[in-house]
Amino acid sequence: MRLKMDKRDGCLVVGLLGELDHHGATELRETVDAEIESAGPSCLVLDFSGVDFMDSSGFGFVMGRYKKMHRTGGAVTVRGARGHVKKMLELSGAGKYVTIE
């Protein structure tokens, strides 16, 4: 899993590329959480357009970032999810907590 982070208009935008599975989720979580703590964004945008596979660890990653942002009044948006990844997010009920574009 590779990622690119950018700050735009008070939001932290995280572009993900590759497979979001158990092996990559821990490092990804630590990296994104450190940036959230450092930058203090009001919103987090997770760009999933480059994610071609996600297992339950990916769902855990999204919900964990939701909890982290929610504690400070921030919001999370998942952008660009498609196919299996989008279906998994929808069926899991993630849309009740995060915006899925």
3-class SS string, 74-96: CEEEEECCCHHHHHHHHHHCHHH
pLDDT tens-place string over residues 10-54: 999 999 999 999 988 989 999 999 999 999 999 999 999 999 999
Task: Tell me the pLDDT of the chain averaged across its residues.
Answer: 95
Q: What is the pLDDT of residue 1?
A: 85
Written as six digits, the tokens of 8 are 């735009």
Domains of the chain: 2-100 (3.30.750.24)
- The pTM for the full model equals 0.94
